[in-house]
């Protein structure tokens, strides 16, 4: 069973991400809806790292 034709190409997603990064945004997540609309979610532009409580478990 085929999934059908995509309304976007991988290059389109790459261009959207690179454009956001070049604009100084930190890309957190990318979503693509069924119509092919690419949505880039950005966070803070500073390099703020979040820690997980499980990172220090040994």
d(CA 16, CA 10): 10
Q: Is residue 51 part of a domain?
A: no
Q: Is residue 23 part of a domain?
A: yes
d(CA 4, CA 29): 24
Q: By the 8 A CB rule, do 43 and 20 touch? A: no
Q: Is residue 2 part of a domain?
A: no
pLDDT at 53: 78
> Closest by alpha carbon to 40, among 11, 15, 54, 20?
20
Q: By the 8 A CB rule, do 13 and 38 touch? A: yes
The answer, yes or no, to whether residue 31 has pLDDT greater than 90, is yes
pTM of the model: 0.64
Q: Is residue 38 part of a domain?
A: yes
- What domain count does the chain have? 1
Reported as a single tens digit per residue, the pLDDT across 45-58 is 555 566 777 777 77
Q: Is residue 58 part of a domain?
A: no
What domain range is 17 assigned to? 10-44
């Amino acid at each position: 069973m085929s999934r059908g034709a995509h309304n976007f190409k991988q290059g389109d997603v790459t261009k959207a991400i690179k454009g956001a990064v070049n604009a100084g945004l930190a890309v957190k997540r990318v979503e693509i809806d069924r119509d092919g609309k690419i949505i880039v979610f950005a966070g803070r532009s500073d390099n703020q790292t979040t820690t997980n409580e499980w990172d220090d478990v040994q």
